[in-house]
Structure 1
C-alpha cells in the first residue's frame, strides 16, 4: 500500500505581484513615523500579509518596486502591515529615486536577492567628511535597511542632519541583501570635493644686502695701506683710489648671547643728507639717523 502525505511534494514559492497607490510617510495617519524615513523599508496593507503567507514566499521578505511611467526600479523590505487597503507608504528618499508623486501607482514584486559582499558609496556633499567616523555612522544607519540597489541615492540621518549617499556599486549583483552579512564598504570622493594643494611660500629676496648694514670694522685692520714697488716705478693700479676696508662677514642665524632683556636693536642703512636737509638736521628729531637705537620696556 502506498501512503500519500500532504508534504510529499513541497510547495514551490509563487511570486507576489500587486499594484498599489504609493504615498510618503508624512501622509500616514497617526503619529509621525521617523523610523520609516530613516530606513529602506515600506508599510503595506494587512491584505498583503495574507496573500504573502498563502504564496509561501522566501524570508526575509524583500520586494522590487517598479514605476512603469519612468521605468525606474528599486528594492526594499517591509516594516509593518498597517497601511490602508490599496495603499503603501514609502520613505521620501525612495519616492524621489522613483520620481513618484503622491497617489501614483507602483508595481510591487517579491524577489530573492543575493547576500551582499561589497558596496561603494559616494557622498553628494563634502560636509559628510566632517563626521569623525563616517564608516561607523553608515554601518549604524544601514541596520534599518534590508537591501541596496546600485544607482539609488539613500538618506543617512546623523546628528540632526541628513546626508545623501549615492550607491555607486554593489556586489555580487546590482541589488543585494544586507541582512546578516559581512560586507566591505568603500567611499568615493564626495561631489565637489577638492584636495587642498600645499603651496610652498615664495621666499622674498632682501632689498638690501645684510652685509651693507654691518658696522665698519674698528681698530687695527691688516693690510690696509698701499703697496710700493722696489724699483721705484709707479704701479699700474696706483691711479685707483684707496682700497676700501673689507666689511665684516655677515653670518645669519647666530644669536646674540649678549642680548639684554628689554632692549631692541635695529641696524639701519645711513643715508647722506643734502645741503638743504643738513641745515634742518640740527633742529630735527634724530631718532632714525641711521645708527642703532634702543627702546626700553617700561615695567
Structure 2
C-alpha cells in the first residue's frame, strides 16, 4: 500500500547535498563488459547505494557532482553514467584522473552540485594535429554529447578517427563550471599549441581589406640564358634583366597559353633566314 504525506505534498522537502568518499579506479578496472563510452566522455560510475541516498536527498536533475582530490587540492565536475560500481568504488575516465592527479586506489570525495546552463566556452587544442580536422566545431559538438558538464582549467580528451585530441578548457560562462545538457553553447578555439603564422600570413592579415578579394603577388624569375641566332647575331637580353611579377587572384584559374581547337591540319613550317 502506498502512503502519501499531505505535508510533504504541500511543502516539498528541500534538496540536501549528497557527499561520499570512494576508492578511485580507472575504467579499465571495471568488471564486466567494456564501456568505451565512459573513457571518451565526462561521466563516472558509482555504487547503487549512492542512487538510494540521492533519491532520499531529493537531489535535482540532472545529477552532477563535484569531484575533489583533497590531498592535491584539485577538483573537477562530472555527470553519472551508471550506478553499478562495487561498494566503496568509483570509476573515472583516465583523462579525468589525470586532471585530478589521482592514482589507482586513491581516495576521491564527491558531492552533488547544481550548475548553471552553459552559454559560452573557449577551448585550446594541445596539438597542431587538431588543424587536420575539417570541421572541428562539429566534431567537438558530437564528442560533448558524452559529457554532462565542463570545468574551466580542465583538459578534456576527445576521440576522432581513432585518434585522441586533448583540449584545454580556457573559459566557461556564466560560471567556472557549467552544465552542457540540452543547451545551446557558443564555442571558440584558440590557436593550437605550437602553431606559428608565417611572415607572409601576418602581412596579409595586416594589409588585406576583408571586403575585397585576396590578391597574391608571385614573383617569377624568367629563364635566363644567352642564345645565338642562325645568322650568328646575339639576341637582345634586356627583356630578361628583371623578374616578372604576376598578380594572381585566389579562386581564379590562370593559364599562360590560350585554348585552341584541335585540328587535323599539319602546321606550316616557317623558313629560316
TM-score by length of 1: 0.68
1:181 aligns with 2:180: no
Q: 1:160 Cα deviation (Å)?
A: 0.4
1:17 aligns with 2:19: yes
Q: Per the alignment, in what secondary structure is the counterpart of residue 79 of structure 1?
A: strand
Q: Per the alignment, in what secondary structure is the counterpart of residue 7 of structure 1?
A: helix
Listed as ranges, the matches of 1:192-211 within 5 Å are 192-198=194-200
- Select the structure of larger CA radius of gyration: 1
Q: 1:8 Cα deviation (Å)?
A: 2.5
**Equivalent position of 1:81 in the other structure:** 83
Unaligned runs of 5+ in 2: 1-5, 202-216, 245-256, 258-266
TM-score by length of 2: 0.74
Q: 1:34 Cα deviation (Å)?
A: 0.8
Distance in 2 (CA, whole Å) between partners of 1:72 and 1:60 is 23
1:163 aligns with 2:165: yes
The alpha-carbon distance between structure 1 residues 194 and 81, as it changes in their structure 2 partners (threshold 3 A), is same
**Equivalent position of 1:51 in the other structure:** 53
**Equivalent position of 1:94 in the other structure:** 96
Distance in 2 (CA, whole Å) between partners of 1:261 and 1:87 is 91
Q: 1:261 Cα deviation (Å)?
A: 9.9
Distance in 2 (CA, whole Å) between partners of 1:156 and 1:249 is 61
1:28 aligns with 2:24: no
Distance in 1 (CA, whole Å) between partners of 2:180 and 2:163 is 24
Distance in 2 (CA, whole Å) between partners of 1:53 and 1:110 is 12
Q: 1:7 Cα deviation (Å)?
A: 1.9
Q: Per the alignment, in what secondary structure is the counterpart of residue 198 of structure 1?
A: helix
**Equivalent position of 2:137 in the other structure:** 135
Per-residue CA deviation, residues 93-146 of structure 1 (Å, 9 max, x unaligned), is 000000000000011010000000000001000001001111100000000100
1:70 aligns with 2:57: no
Unaligned runs of 5+ in 1: 219-246, 264-299
Distance in 2 (CA, whole Å) between partners of 1:148 and 1:54 is 27
**Equivalent position of 1:290 in the other structure:** none
